[in-house]
Amino acid sequence: MVNEYKMRPLPYSGLPAILNNIALILFTFALIAAVSHVETCFLVLFPTGIAINLMAIGKRVIIRNGCVVLEYGFPKPVLRYVVKDIVEIFDINELSRGRLVKYFKALLVPFILVMILPLMYVMVKGIYPYPVYLPLMVIPVIMGVFLLMYLMFTAASYRRFLAKASIATAVVSAYLVSIVAGFLYRDVYGRSIFSNLAAVAVWLVSVLLLVALAIAIAFFAGKNHVVILVDARGRYYAVGMANAEVAREFVNTVLNVMKENHGGSEDGNYA
């Protein structure tokens, strides 16, 4: 029996995907509002983003009555998808050239927006942000790149590359951004950034957050498996698995359900 605590629906399609994308963009706008000292907008955008994101979080996966039920929402499910007439199931990590972008192209839009919004802010304002906020502005750009890589290069070899490259990229980016922030601060204020403890604290938290997020992506990209379900209407659903063993158990369980639904026939595309 598959352990339901080791798998969860991923918000890659349908309403969960829309909600998750909106939350991601709201978080980026909230960050820009914080950097711009527009506290009211930040206090509205950030909690709203959290609330929307909680609605899109995968809660649990249930196999019953010949269907796969995907529940989204935390702490209690608010969205439920009943996937019937499954015609295909596969672990995308096991495909030599498997790429999530092939099945969930709409995810490209929010990831690209997250990257370009901070850059557009700087271009529209025509001024550099407060130097100590520079690492914060870089976070969406770096994370957008990582997410695009995760989406476009999902085969096992690419995922291993991503797991190694993300940490190195984050460390190098944090180092370079820190140098630039230090020079800009001295150029603007005529003194070292270390003369202002509050500025140092903001800078340090920003750099640590950037590295922590990169480490999280490396961890999940390296270990988690993504199983794709396809129904008779050609709609795709993604389920995240803790490891390869759980993914195999889930695939085998669903295959058995599919065979039962087809009266034990071996015909049809099951993998």
- How many C-alpha atoms does 269 have within 13 Å on its Cβ side? 9
Which amino acid is residue 242, in one-letter code? A
Average pLDDT score, the chain: 80
- 255 pLDDT above the threshold of 80: yes
pLDDT of residue 81: 93
pLDDT of residue 195: 72
Give the whole-angstrom CA distance, residue 119 versus residue 110. 15
Helix (H, G, I), strand (E, B) or coil at 253: helix
Which amino acid is residue 65, in one-letter code? N
pLDDT of residue 237: 95
Give the whole-angstrom CA distance, residue 232 versus residue 244. 26
Give the percent of the chain with pLDDT over 90: 26
pLDDT of residue 177: 67
- 236 pLDDT above the threshold of 50: yes
Structure confidence at residue 267 as a pLDDT band (50, 70, 90): very low
- How many C-alpha atoms does 100 have within 13 Å on its Cβ side? 27
**pLDDT tens across 179-209, in order?**
666 666 676 667 776 777 776 777 777 777 7
pLDDT of residue 156: 62
